[in-house]
């Protein structure tokens, strides 16, 4: 899971950089793709933090799967929206 977390965070940073540096026709944060792209690492950060407490915190045990599932769903929707803004 740590390698996937780093990959998602890297893609969010690179995607933001590509809009700033390569896409003059797009404005940063004007699309759902941007917000979904950054929501995914935020949810994964929550999942990473709750994973450290799974064995001793019942709330973390309940919340952790939802964070992971939400991150996967947002990533899929973000990918589909991203196809629509390809040059």
Please, which pLDDT band fits residue 85 given cuts at 50, 70 and 90?
A: confident
Residue 78 is predicted with a pLDDT of 84
Name residue, tokens 């950089």. Answer: 17
For the stretch 12-68, pLDDT in tens is 999 999 999 998 888 888 888 889 889 999 999 999 999 999 999 999 999 999 999
Under 8 Å between Cβ of 40 and 82: no
Please, which pLDDT band fits residue 84 given cuts at 50, 70 and 90?
A: confident
Report d(CA 30, CA 34) in Å as an integer: 7
State the pTM of this model. 0.80
Report d(CA 66, CA 43) in Å as an integer: 9
Helix axes 32-51, 58-83, angle to 10 degrees: 160
Q: Measured between alpha carbons, how far is residue 38 from residues 29, 54, 56, 59, 71 in Å?
A: 10, 25, 29, 25, 10
């Amino acid at each position: 899971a740590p390698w996937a977390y780093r990959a998602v965070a890297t893609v969010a940073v690179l995607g933001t950089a590509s809009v700033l540096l390569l896409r003059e026709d797009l404005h940063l944060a004007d699309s759902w793709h941007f917000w979904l792209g950054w929501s995914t690492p935020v949810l994964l950060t929550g999942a990473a933090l709750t994973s450290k407490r799974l064995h001793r915190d019942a709330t973390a045990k309940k919340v952790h799967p939802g964070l992971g599932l939400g991150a996967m769903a947002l990533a899929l929707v973000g990918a589909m929206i991203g196809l629509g803004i390809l040059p």
